[in-house]
């Protein structure tokens, strides 16, 4: 069994270097880059125009707030281009180029040269390119660092523009396997690749079902589940539920941290109202607690 190499994640992987939840989280973040860049640009322009300090709101996020939207944007660009380059150097096709010299046997000496990468170094283009190469990422030996650095840079960008997670990861398209991301207010999603239409509720229920059998620490649950559940869930909340006897502590990980059955956490989360509901009604896990209000409009 291979353990996910994302720092502090200890899920088993499907054979690659990172687990499905971490890869899904990465792909979801990459899908958000387009909108995020627009918002970062707006933020930089607005604050520059009004003479405001170019930076984020002073807040409770614990960030050093001399880090402004412009720096966050540059940082995201650096991180994305570093990993694009790394993946291309590892997996990109090479062609043989004669050096002009001749080997002792009389044959021309050739070197294998990496094909040039045809890609604009804009943030949306780099993010889209990375999303087209999930298996290059999944099996790269430094995949854990890649996921950690990119998701961290995206998270900082989000905080800089004060943007909630924009899209819900819905898993692969049942038709063609392309990753699907739904806007939180939509009940159906159209696949960009094969144009098939799917029910967001059913896709996400299947995704959650697949996660149910896994064991995870409170920190891992807090990282992976909010995006899947569409509600806020902190590691502290998970630990509180365990102390109150609502969750059973399972076999600890190799560092002795208690783990929980993801399915059990999901059930408790669904049965507990959240103050910060990300997903609107229309998804089963919000309908449970918030009735069917809002669905009548469909």
**Alpha carbons 184 and 166: distance in angstroms, whole number:** 7
Two structure tokens written together for 92 = 């990109």
Two structure tokens written together for 75 = 């940082």
Least distance in angstroms from the C-beta of 80 to Zn ion: 20
Handedness of CA 235, 238, 244, 245 (dihedral sign): negative
Least distance in angstroms from the C-beta of 152 to Zn ion: 14
Compare residues 22 and 80 and give the one whose CB is closer to Zn ion. 22
- Contacts with Zn ion by CB under 5 A lie at 4, 6, 9, 11, 19, 22, 173, 175-176, 178, 191, 193-194
Of 240, 239, 244, nearest in space to 259 by CA: 239
* Strand, coil or helix: 98: strand
Least distance in angstroms from the C-beta of 206 to Zn ion: 15
Least distance in angstroms from the C-beta of 120 to Zn ion: 25
Compare residues 21 and 33 and give the one whose CB is closer to Zn ion. 21
Least distance in angstroms from the C-beta of 93 to Zn ion: 26
Taking CA atoms, 177 is separated from 16, 168, 232, 257, in Å, by 17, 16, 28, 35
Q: Identify the H or E element spanning 46.
A: helix 33-49
Q: Would strands 179-182 and 188-190 be described as parallel, antiparallel, or unpaired? A: unpaired
Compare residues 141 and 175 and give the one whose CB is closer to Zn ion. 175
Of 123, 108, 149, nearest in space to 39 by CA: 123
Least distance in angstroms from the C-beta of 177 to Zn ion: 7
Q: Are 269 and 223 in contact (CB under 8 A)?
A: no
Compare residues 9 and 279 and give the one whose CB is closer to Zn ion. 9
Q: Are 16 and 146 in contact (CB under 8 A)?
A: no
Compare residues 11 and 217 and give the one whose CB is closer to Zn ion. 11
Residues contacting residue 98 through CB under 8 Å, at least 6 positions apart: 108, 109, 110
Compare residues 162 and 193 and give the one whose CB is closer to Zn ion. 193
Q: Can you say how many angstroms the Cα of residue 115 is from the centroid of all Cα atoms in its chain?
A: 29
Compare residues 22 and 170 and give the one whose CB is closer to Zn ion. 22
Partnered with residue 104 across adjacent β-strands are none
Least distance in angstroms from the C-beta of 111 to Zn ion: 38
């Amino acid at each position: 069994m291979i353990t996910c190499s994302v720092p502090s994640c200890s899920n088993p992987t499907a054979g690659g270097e990172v687990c499905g939840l971490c890869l899904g989280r990465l792909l979801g973040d990459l899908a958000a880059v387009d909108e995020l860049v627009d918002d970062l640009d707006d933020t930089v322009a607005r604050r520059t125009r009004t003479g405001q300090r170019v930076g984020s709101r002073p807040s409770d996020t614990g960030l050093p707030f001399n880090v402004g939207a412009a720096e966050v944007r540059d940082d995201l660009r650096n991180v994305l281009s570093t990993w694009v380059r790394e993946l291309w150097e590892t997996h990109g096709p090479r062609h043989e180029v004669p050096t002009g010299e001749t080997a002792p046997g009389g044959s021309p000496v050739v070197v294998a040269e990496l094909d040039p990468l045809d890609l604009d170094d804009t943030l949306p283009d780099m993010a889209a390119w990375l999303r087209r190469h999930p298996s290059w990422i999944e099996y790269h030996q430094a995949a854990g660092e890649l996921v950690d650095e990119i998701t961290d840079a995206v998270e900082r960008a989000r905080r800089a523009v004060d943007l909630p997670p924009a899209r819900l990861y819905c898993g692969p398209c049942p038709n063609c396997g392309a990753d699907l991301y739904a806007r939180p207010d939509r009940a159906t999603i159209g696949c960009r690749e094969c144009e098939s239409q799917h029910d967001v509720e059913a896709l996400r229920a299947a995704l959650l079902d697949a996660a149910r059998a896994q064991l995870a620490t409170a920190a891992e649950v807090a990282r992976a589940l909010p995006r899947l559940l569409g509600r806020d869930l902190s590691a502290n909340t998970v630990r509180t539920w365990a102390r109150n006897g609502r969750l059973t502590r399972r076999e600890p990980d190799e560092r002795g941290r208690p783990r929980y059955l993801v399915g059990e956490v999901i059930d408790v989360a669904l049965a507990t109202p959240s103050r910060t509901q990300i997903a609107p009604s229309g998804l089963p896990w919000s309908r449970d607690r918030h009735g069917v209000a809002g669905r009548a409009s469909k």
